[in-house]
């Protein structure tokens, strides 16, 4: 067998597995209970965001970024322009600099990595046998792989000496307005920085340094890398057209606090009209609402599955029977989850939007009555039989 791979076999008896499943009941209860406030909060937050966006759409005013009108202080404004900075950002280690909004150092190191594949077999009597194969391979990684956590020692990775790092300009403007730090963080459209005008240091971290295309190479040969060799490249955020919607504060911006409760503070790349910006925000709100609904449903289902898991373990003395019961418990958990989740969402809607929820209930009841009446109307009448 390859010296860089080995197989480990472990066994867990029925009593140990039953103990684990009983312990899982506690975590299942926690997950199940946690799903209810998540679903409730999500519906409230969705309504709050919806109302806030509608409120903002009624109040926003579009202004030129080339003219600051102090009479707009405290108002929700929409403006567009070129975001730029005169700040010079520099990486002192590699002597790389750029006049930019951001300068980003990316690094990858050639390291050992541990991969594992697992094969599980159920045995008569409830014992579970797990066969795990560990394989060690050399590969490039942009983060430190902790070789001390490997199952088998002997594949040691050196410490990554130069971590990922970002330098940010402190002074970024769009027209005559200054962006605040939060807005600067949200400008993320990067491009690769060419290294042709820079001179590489001769050595770093006891390794030779060479410029290879758009990156530095630390090591002897990129074609035949050794453990610990590194590749470093840089990206920058150059001046770019952006759209901002926020509250004007002097010559800068802060988040606009709406009466509905959800703040408005948008920054998007490109020139976007105010109406389009609100349309995009409504779409994002809808997507987030559904994502959290699904997350709450999965949380509830996972919790109930853990609560019912001991039933499957009781039957797992016979593997086939255990598999059948486990599938049954998951189906049962799902059937319980659906009404619990829908009722929670429905009650939340009644709490946050009573008029709309009431209207939907009335429409639903009328629809059911209409369906019932139509079914009675279309039921063929019995023809009386005449006896002779």
Decide: 195 and 211 in contact? Cβ < 8 Å.
yes
DSSP 8-state class, residue 258: -
What gap in Å lies between CA 155 and CA 377, rounded to an integer?
79
- Are 237 and 190 in contact by the 8 Å Cβ rule? The answer is yes
Give the Å distances, CA to CA, from 2 to 10, 131, 133, 135, 137. Answer: 21, 17, 12, 9, 11
State how far the Cα of 28 lies from the Cα of 302, in Å rounded to an integer: 7
Give residue limits of the domains in the chain.
12-52+286-377
Interval 156-180 mean pLDDT: 96
Contact call for residues 48 and 157 (beta carbons, < 8 A): no
- Contact in structure between 140 and 108 (CB atoms under 8 Å): yes
pLDDT-derived band at 321, boundaries 50, 70, 90:
confident
- The helices-and-strands tally (H runs, E runs) of the chain is 5, 18
List CB contacts of 123: < 8 A, sequence separation 6 or more.
Answer: 129, 319
Q: What is the pLDDT of residues 79-114, one digit of tens each?
A: 999 999 999 999 999 999 999 999 999 999 999 999
pTM confidence score: 0.80
In the Cβ-directed half-sphere of 68, how many Cα atoms lie within 13 Å? Answer: 16
CA distance 136 to 155: 8
pLDDT digits (tens, 9 = 90+) for 54-77: 999 999 999 999 999 999 999 999
- Report residue 351's pLDDT band, with 50, 70 and 90 as the boundaries: confident
**Among 16-20, 278-282, 307-311, 380-384, which range has the highest average pLDDT?**
278-282
Distances (CA, A) of 167 to 92, 100, 141, 200: 11, 9, 22, 20
Condensed to tens digits (0 to 9), the pLDDT of residues 213-253 reads 899 999 989 999 999 999 999 999 999 999 999 999 999 99
Residues 127, 13 contacting (CB under 8 angstroms): yes
> Looking at residues 253-267, what average pLDDT do you find?
97
Alpha-carbon distance of 360 to 290, in angstroms, equals: 19
Identify the CA nearest to 184 among candidates 198, 199, 169: 169
pLDDT over 90, % of the chain = 65
Contact in structure between 264 and 256 (CB atoms under 8 Å): yes
How far, in Å, CA of 61 to CA of 58, rounded?
A: 9
Length of the chain, in residues? 388
Q: Choose the weakest-confidence range: 121-125, 141-145, 364-368.
A: 364-368
Q: What are phi and psi of 68, to 5 degrees?
A: -100, 115
pLDDT averaged over every residue in the chain: 89
Residue 364 pLDDT > 80: no
């Amino acid at each position: 067998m390859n010296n860089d791979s080995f197989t480990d076999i472990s066994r867990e008896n029925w009593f140990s597995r039953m103990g684990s499943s009983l312990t899982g009941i506690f975590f299942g209860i926690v997950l199940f209970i946690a799903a209810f406030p998540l679903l409730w909060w999500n519906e409230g937050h969705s309504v709050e965001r919806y109302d806030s966006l509608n409120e903002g759409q009624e109040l926003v005013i579009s202004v030129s970024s080339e003219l600051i009108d102090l009479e707009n202080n405290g108002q929700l404004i929409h403006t567009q322009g070129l975001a730029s900075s005169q700040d010079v950002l520099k990486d002192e280690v590699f002597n790389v600099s750029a006049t930019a909004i951001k300068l980003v150092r990316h690094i990858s190191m050639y390291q050992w990595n541990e991969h594992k594949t697992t094969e599980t077999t159920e045995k008569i009597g409830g014992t579970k046998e797990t066969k795990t194969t560990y394989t060690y391979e050399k590969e490039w990684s942009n983060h430190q792989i902790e070789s001390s956590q490997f199952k088998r020692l002997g594949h040691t990775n050196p410490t990554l000496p130069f971590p990922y790092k970002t330098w940010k300009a402190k002074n970024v403007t769009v027209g005559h307005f200054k962006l605040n730090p939060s807005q600067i963080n949200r400008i993320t459209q990067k491009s690769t920085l060419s290294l042709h005008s820079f001179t590489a240091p001769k050595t770093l971290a006891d390794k030779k340094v060479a410029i290879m295309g758009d990156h530095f190479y630390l090591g002897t040969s990129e074609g035949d890398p050794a453990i610990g060799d590194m590749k470093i490249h840089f990206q920058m955020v150059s001046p770019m057209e952006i759209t901002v919607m926020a509250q004007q504060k002097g010559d800068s911006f802060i988040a606009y606090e709406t009466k509905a409760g959800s703040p408005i503070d948008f920054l998007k790349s490109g020139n976007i009209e105010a109406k389009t910006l609100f349309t995009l925000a409504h779409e994002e709100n809808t997507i987030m609402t559904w994502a959290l609904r699904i997350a709450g449903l999965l949380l509830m289902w996972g919790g109930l599955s853990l609560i019912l898991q001991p039933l499957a373990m009781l039957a797992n003395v016979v593997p086939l029977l255990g598999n059948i019961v486990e599938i049954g418990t998951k189906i049962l958990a799902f059937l319980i989850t659906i009404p619990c989740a829908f009722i929670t969402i429905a009650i939340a809607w009644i709490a946050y939007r009573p008029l709309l929820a009431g209207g939907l209930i009335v429409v639903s009841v009328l629809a059911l009555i209409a369906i019932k009446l139509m079914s009675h109307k279309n039921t063929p009448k019995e023809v009386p039989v005449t006896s002779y």
